């Protein structure tokens, strides 16, 4: 069986600035992968390439053995680092929209989550606070029975209790054998959750290994991160 | 999936667009109210003529607004933050583009139909109001015998049948031009979000629009030269009094250009997009 994500010689440049160069990477199924790296290292670019938001790259990208396209998007649930919902829609319309397009979207589950998240089905996106919009985006993503979840900094800028709530939602709603690729700077909070750690920087994959292997070396992820990316003041 | 995309595109563009249609219908309705009045004095005549003149101007404004609304809606759903929703959908870029193209062409047709409808209503209103005013005037002057000389027909305004004949010919021309115009708009919109043009879309969009228009004109002209026929580039006269061969060649060249632009746009959407 194919790995869920395969990258071969993948390069992405913005004009003359290369952010990812000749990346070779295979991510196995059923794992939770932490994508880490300093700001501007290409984490978001990599996620956008995997989900089809960026398609002007070179090299080979395969999701579930297929190139990025209609099929890969049907098995990938993407949570970007911004709100993308039409402002005029209400929460229920957003749920219906997703159910309309994604066969793996579990509508009853989404409606239950709306209630659990204390979101009014009739409330319009434009009247929701930033936190409420983030909750709605999270529930729309996690209501899918996807093979791959690509989550771009779902914990960015939220308080510790909300952080716990978000992580619980992700972990409890994830189907068995699905893969989660999650980018974060909250390494200390997240290392207990990750199966694999993926660190990128200087246009390359600097580290990709199982957390169990890394722990066997007697180092925490946080310590490794400091080693791989020493702070230059 | 195309049907679902179309449904959603209709809802999204329709939300922004229906108020434009509503204003047009209301304007036409008010214009028609003047014709219900039995006695038409000078004051009513002036107001009615003015209103219906404004109605014709509104028809032109409606077209400009329709293009803007449709392009803004397309731009929002593809290239702003909402693009993260659109590009994540499990559909091919071909389906995505086809859906935008079909819904935009249909909305434009709807707006053209309304604009033409407004002009028809305005002309018919003017005809009725002039006939009534002439009746009132001649009655007051005891000169009913001269009614024929003052009628709208005598003043050269087209009859309903003449107008409908003109519309039928116009419809074919409009659809062909609309398809090309919409593809030029979608192409320009897409290329303005592709490197290196995305840096200054405000600068590139007018350059591309003018470039496309000139290129289309030249290609149609060259095709005509190659086929040794004098292709008529006067849009208003296309189909009227020209030979069917010339019109057909022009239409085929325009549809061919539209197809080329469609596939180039699809290529850019599938290979050259980098959402911010």
**Could you tell me the two tokens for B100?**
């935008």
Contact A70/B88, CB-based, under 8 Å?
no
The pLDDT mean for chain A works out to 91
Cβ-based neighbours of A24, under 8 Å, separated by 6 or more: A7, A8, A9, A10, A205
Q: How far apart are CA A165 and CA A117, in angstroms?
A: 10
Cβ–Cβ under 8 Å, residues A8 and A20: no
Spatial CA neighbour of B202 closest among B194, B210, B192, B216: B192
Considering only B67-76, B99-108, B149-158, B233-242, which range has the smallest mean pLDDT?
B233-242
- Note the pLDDT of residue B233: 47
Helix H or strand E segment including A214? helix A211-216
Which residue of chain A comes nearest to B199, CA vs CA?
A15
The pLDDT mean for chain B works out to 78
A42 reaches B (C-beta below 8 A)? no
- Note the pLDDT of residue B147: 59
Task: Give per-residue pLDDT as tens, B24-69.
Answer: 778 777 767 766 666 666 777 777 778 777 877 877 787 788 888 8
A159 reaches B (C-beta below 8 A)? no
Residue B255: CB atoms within 10 A of its CB come to: 15
**Nearest 5 degrees, angle CA B231-CA B232-CA B233?**
110
Q: How far apart are CA B93 and CA B269, in angstroms?
A: 6
Cβ–Cβ under 8 Å, residues A36 and A188: no
Q: How far apart are CA B194 and CA B275, in angstroms?
A: 9
Contact residues, chain A, for B273 at CB < 8 Å: 53-56
Q: Report whether pLDDT(B232) > 70.
A: no
> Which of A17, A46, A70, A148 has the most B C-beta neighbours within 10 Å, making it the best mutation to test the interface with B?
A70
- Kindly state the average pLDDT of the residues B7-31: 81
Spatial CA neighbour of B81 closest among A80, A218, A43: A80
| Per-residue pLDDT band at B238 (split at 50, 70, 90) | very low
CB nearest B4 (choices: A55, A56, A100): A100
Cβ–Cβ under 8 Å, residues B32 and B94: no
Q: How far apart are CA A136 and CA A83, in angstroms?
A: 9
- Note the pLDDT of residue B237: 47
Q: How many whole angstroms from its chain centre is CA A3?
A: 17
CB nearest B195 (choices: A15, A52, A71): A15
Q: How many whole angstroms from its chain centre is CA B7?
A: 22
A97 reaches B (C-beta below 8 A)? yes
Contact residues, chain A, for B194 at CB < 8 Å: 56
- Look-up of token digits 């590009």: B87
The terminus-to-terminus CA distance of chain A in angstroms comes to 46
B12 reaches A (C-beta below 8 A)? yes
A15 reaches B (C-beta below 8 A)? yes
Q: How far apart are CA B150 and CA B135, in angstroms?
A: 9
Q: Report whether pLDDT(B272) > 80.
A: yes
Q: Report whether pLDDT(A110) > 80.
A: yes
- The reply to whether omega before B139 is within 30° of 0 (cis) is no
B237 reaches A (C-beta below 8 A)? no
Considering only A26-35, A100-109, B176-185, which range has the smallest mean pLDDT?
B176-185
| Per-residue pLDDT band at B150 (split at 50, 70, 90) | low
- Look-up of token digits 């997703």: A98
Range ranked top by mean pLDDT from A50-59, A210-219, A222-231, B199-208: A50-59
CB nearest A53 (choices: B1, B95, B275): B275
Contact residues, chain A, for B275 at CB < 8 Å: 48, 53-54
The burial class, CB within 10 Å (0-12 / 13-18 / 19+), for A119 is buried
Cβ–Cβ under 8 Å, residues A5 and A181: yes
Residue B123: CB atoms within 10 A of its CB come to: 19
- Note the pLDDT of residue B245: 59
User: What radius of gyration do chain A's Cα atoms show?
Assistant: 18
A54 reaches B (C-beta below 8 A)? yes
A13 reaches B (C-beta below 8 A)? no
Chain A nearest CA to B267, separation (Å)? 11
- Look-up of token digits 């190139």: A67
Chain B nearest CA to A79, separation (Å)? 9
Considering only A68-82, A166-180, A191-205, B162-176, which range has the smallest mean pLDDT?
B162-176
- Kindly state the average pLDDT of the residues B228-234: 52
Cβ–Cβ under 8 Å, residues B63 and B111: yes
Contact B274/A102, CB-based, under 8 Å?
no
Q: Report whether pLDDT(A73) > 80.
A: yes
Q: How far apart are CA B262 and CA A179, in angstroms?
A: 37
Q: Report whether pLDDT(A114) > 80.
A: yes
ipTM of predicted complex: 0.93
Task: Give per-residue pLDDT as tens, B62-101.
Answer: 778 888 888 888 898 999 999 999 999 999 999 999 999 9
- Note the pLDDT of residue B235: 44
B202 reaches A (C-beta below 8 A)? no
DSSP H helical segments within chain B, as ranges? 2-34, 42-79, 83-86, 93-140, 147-150, 160-191, 201-226, 244-271
């Amino acid at each position: 069986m194919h790995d869920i994500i395969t990258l071969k010689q993948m390069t992405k440049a913005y004009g003359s600035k290369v952010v990812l160069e000749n990346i070779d990477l295979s991510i196995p199924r059923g794992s939770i992968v932490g994508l880490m790296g300093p700001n501007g290292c290409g984490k978001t670019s990599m996620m956008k390439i995997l989900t089809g938001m960026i398609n002007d790259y070179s090299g080979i990208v395969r999701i579930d053995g297929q190139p990025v396209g209609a099929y890969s998007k049907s098995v990938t649930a993407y949570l970007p680092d911004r709100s993308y919902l039409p402002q005029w829609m209400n929460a229920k319309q957003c749920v219906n929209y997703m159910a309309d397009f994604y066969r793996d979207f579990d509508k009853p589950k989404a409606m239950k989550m709306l209630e659990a998240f204390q979101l009014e089905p009739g409330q319009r996106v434009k009247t929701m606070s930033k936190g409420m919009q983030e909750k709605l985006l999270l529930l729309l993503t996690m209501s899918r029975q996807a093979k791959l979840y690509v989550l771009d900094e779902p914990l960015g800028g939220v308080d510790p209790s909300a952080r716990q709530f978000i992580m619980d939602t992700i972990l409890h709603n994830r189907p068995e054998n699905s893969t989660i690729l999650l980018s974060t700077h909250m390494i200390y909070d997240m290392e207990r959750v990750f199966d694999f750690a993926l660190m990128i920087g200087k246009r390359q994959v600097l580290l990709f290994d199982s957390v169990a292997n890394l722990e066997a070396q007697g180092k925490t992820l946080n310590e490794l991160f400091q080693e791989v990316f020493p702070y230059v003041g | 999936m195309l049907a679902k995309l179309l449904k959603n595109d209709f809802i999204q563009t329709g939300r922004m667009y229906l108020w434009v249609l509503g204003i047009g219908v209301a304007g036409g309705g008010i214009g028609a109210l003047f014709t219900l009045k039995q006695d038409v004095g000078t004051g009513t005549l002036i107001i009615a003529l003015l209103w219906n003149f404004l109605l014709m101007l509104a028809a032109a404004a409606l077209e400009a607004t329709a293009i803007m609304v449709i392009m803004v809606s397309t731009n929002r759903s593809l290239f702003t933050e909402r693009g993260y929703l659109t590009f994540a959908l499990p559909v091919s870029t071909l389906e995505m583009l086809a859906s935008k193209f079909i819904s935009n062409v249909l909305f434009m047709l709807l707006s053209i139909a309304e604009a033409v409808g407004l002009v028809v209503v305005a002309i018919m209103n003017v005809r009725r109001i002039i006939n009534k005013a002439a009746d009132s005037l001649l009655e007051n002057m005891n000169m009913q015998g001269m009614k024929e000389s003052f009628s709208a027909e005598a003043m050269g305004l087209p009859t309903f049948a003449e107008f409908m004949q003109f519309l039928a010919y116009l419809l074919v021309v409009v659809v062909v031009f609309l398809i090309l115009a919409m593809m030029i708009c979608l192409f320009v919109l897409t290329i303005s979000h592709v490197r290196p043009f995305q840096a200054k879309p405000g600068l590139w969009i007018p350059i591309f629009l003018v470039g496309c228009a000139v290129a289309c004109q030249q290609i149609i002209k060259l095709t005509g030269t190659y086929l040794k026929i004098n292709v008529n580039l006067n849009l208003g006269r296309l189909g009227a009094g020209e030979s069917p061969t010339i019109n057909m060649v022009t239409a085929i060249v325009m549809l061919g250009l539209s197809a080329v632009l469609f596939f180039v746009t699809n290529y850019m959407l599938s290979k050259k997009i980098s959402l911010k």
